[in-house]
Copies of this chain bind each other. A is one copy, B any other.
Amino acid sequence: MIGVDWGTTSFRAFRVGKDGTIRDRRAGPRGILNVIDGRFADTLREEIGPWLAAGEDHVLLSGMIGSRQGWKEAPYLACPAGIAELAAGVVDVEFDWGQVKLVPGLATDDGNGVAEVMRGEETQVIGVLAAMGGSGVACLPGTHSKWATVEDSRITGFTTHMTGEAYAALRGHTILGRMMREGPAGGAPFDAGVSRAAEPGGLLHHIFGARSQVLMGRLPETEAGAYLSGILVGHEVRAALAGRQGVVVHIIGSPELSGLYARAIAAFGGFPERHDGEAAARGLAQIAEQAAWR
């Protein structure tokens, strides 16, 4: 089968063998925002044409490609949902060179009447279900970080934290960025930011320290970005782990971001366990296996 993790800004395709091993892969910047005039079919054919020509016919897509801004809207499924529910909820898309289906996103309520939605992360969580032993907490750091709870091999709920996007907006469009110069993303300044998040005062107060400490000569301009990042990641992790100290947190993300989150999770009393970036491919293959193809 062919699995595609098709997000807002990136396109990652995997050719997966019957035994579940990844036989080939492609990755590029052709996320849905970079596809012009709704040319999703053409884009897909250009990207995976050789694999289709080689005989593949089952193509499963996950991510924002199934949103209103994507190829076709796949309605959200309600939690709890596992492989069976997602496989039963796939949506067909018209495509002349093979069968293409979309994995639906998930929706839930955060327990206080506020809606939560995800598209793509559900498939990645499915990909680490076995490694998680079918239950636990998964963290998918990024622009919109997701924290998902898994019980009996089904996602029972999740929360979103706009950490990555808030960082970009604060660094790019507030006075904080004017005092920052490029520097390492992690290290001691990141850890100092994480520690800062544990103190009283609140996030909106803490972030001002990324300016005032530079102003007073206590923080180099090359370290202010990592310090701000640590404050934001620290606040996310602190809130996400509140009331569940000592839990194992399964991190699914890029090596660099996973490393930073692992430090913050440990700082707030969790036990980080890192997973590789193949979670999406494994999840797509497992959902495809249970979906109904022609």
Which chain A residues (205-264) contact chain B, with CB distance < 8 Å?
A: 205-209, 212-213, 215-216, 218, 232, 235-236, 238-240, 242-243
Q: How far is the CA of A232 from the CA of B176 in the complex (A)?
A: 18
Residues of B within 8 A of A208 (CB): 116, 144, 160-162
For the complex, count residues of A whose C-beta is within 8 A of B: 49
> Does A166 lie at the interface of the complex (its beta carbon under 8 Å from any beta carbon of B)?
yes
Pick the contact of A203 from B144, B159, B204 — CB < 8 Å? B204
Q: A160 and B205 in contact (CB under 8 A), knowing A169-B169, A216-B107?
A: yes
Which chain A residues (171-215) contact chain B, with CB distance < 8 Å?
A: 172-176, 196, 199-209, 212-213, 215
Contact B170 A212 (CB under 8 A): no
Contact A115 B162 (CB under 8 A): no
Contact B161 A116 (CB under 8 A): no
List 25 contacting pairs A-B, 8 Å CB cutoff, sorted by A.
A112-B201, A115-B209, A115-B212, A115-B215, A117-B212, A117-B215, A144-B208, A160-B208, A160-B212, A161-B202, A161-B208, A162-B176, A165-B174, A165-B175, A166-B204, A168-B174, A169-B170, A200-B239, A200-B242, A200-B243, A202-B238, A202-B239, A203-B203, A204-B232, A204-B236
